[in-house]
Structure 1
Amino acid sequence: MAEFGFNEHHQNEAINYMRFARSKRVLRLRTVDSCFEELKDSRLVEETFTVDEVREMLDGLQAVVRGEVETELINTAHTNVLLLRQLFSQAEKFYLRLQSDVSELENRELLEQVAEFEKTEFKTTNKVNQESSKPKLAPLNEGGVSELLNKEIARLQDENEKLKTRLRTLESQAMSALDERSRAERALKDLQRVQGEQQVVSRAQEIGSLEDTVAALKEDYERSLSINAASQKGLHDNLVSAKHDLLRVQEQLTMAEKELEKKFQQTAAYRNMKEILTKKNEQIKEIRKRLQRYESDE
């Protein structure tokens, strides 16, 4: 696979998939073989058969083998879709858009290279998959503004998860505080019937403290939401700024190309070449005129 431009990690992934496909293929071939063996054992018990009997046996065998092959082809197509789903899911986490060229799937030269690689790989050694964890695709040729933005996105996503966890904790605390308040109100009503005014005032102060706690939790919750919104707005501003920088650089490159072309046209070599081409064109016109006169004379 080295000629395909794979690194070592991706080559190992390709080998693992080829090993999986090879095992499925061997299993399906065994199933097809068993269909023929079953026909031999169950139907070929007499010495002679009529044409209709042979045709019936072949038709039945054809239906069974066709069903097995069709099932395997459908399963292979669905398996490939699941593999693409894994690759696309990993790419989308890094805001990549993968593309495929279906015409390359019928490239005979590449198919022969894959077949030769499979033959060599499974003939020389039976490699063991050394990476059991599911890897994640890393974006290629990434740097500068894009790399910083991706890092910032990852940091904000992590911070967002932390904020969500904190919000869930605050909501749980708020619910607990509300439950406590309800219990306190019920207890207050009981105390009003049993105890004196002093105990009632003390319980009222406790309720006020609980209300302050709920208000503080609510304020903290709203502050967390505000921080999260500000972070998302900052990310959007950074993305817009990066796009503007990219457009400005492209414009500068276009101006530089035009300036270089203009300077080249002002060089002596360019003027001499233009003068030579002009003279050659005039000579060609003169030759054509002479040829036209000669043809007229003839």
Structure 2
Amino acid sequence: MAELGLNEHHQNEVINYMRFARSKRSLRLKTVDSCFQDLKESRLVEETFTIDEVSEVLNELQAVVHSEVESELINTAYTNVLLLQQLFSQAEKWYLKLQTDISELENRELLDQVAEFEKAEFTSSNKKPIIEVIKPKLAPLNESGTAELLNKEILRLQEENEKLKSRLKTIEIQATSALDEKSKLEKALRDLQLDQGDPKDSVQAQDLSHLENTVAALKSEFQKTLNDKTQNQKSLEENLATAKHDLLRVQDQLSMAEKMVYIRCPAPPFALPACLSSGLPKRN
């Protein structure tokens, strides 16, 4: 059996789209067939036709078929755009940037692979029976779900990271300014070394010592802030990774529960992780 290299969930989504496309294609072909049938019943009522009459009939048929085919091609293009919009919208919620390779859409080998996949899935001998079951919709992971909580956490981490960067930049400016001032004072002190008896020497020495202490304190604060930022960022990344793993586990459990509902079997209860259960809406 042909495969597309996708997991079971995505392959089922592809099959659903192919089923939709087949139904639209079948409907449009029936419309084209009806155009020819209407022509036969309405115009081909005489035994003989002149060249002009045949040309007129063919032109009318061409106009009708052209309109039907053009309409279907436009509708197919718009449908594909809506499908891409759904995929890109879901990806943007997770800050992903999907890419497409338009050149691969005309790859004959890949097109043949899709044709084999469709043939294997929809031939009468291999076609799986469709069970008409009303699929219950689980509560979406939207504004009140774990997906929105993770999005908010990502935004919070980004804001905190920007604040830390701004603080580090301020400390770097202060440290640079203090070093420049120290260099100026050292130069002034060297200029005054010839006047050993001048009382200003002790004042300059005290100022220099005070400045050196200030620079040392700024360096210490800068290093402490840098260490705190590194540790804090590492902790936040670990918490975010844990939250994402919990979300994937919950989604997998929801998917299993939904499949159990489809076959009308009671789904085993499952417990949400403590870090995510607070964000989910309570069931009455």
**TM-score w.r.t. structure 2 length?**
0.49
- Where relative contact order (Cα < 8 A, 6+ residues apart) is larger, the structure is 2
**TM-score w.r.t. structure 1 length?**
0.47
- Higher-Rg structure is 1
The structure that is helix-richer by fraction is 1
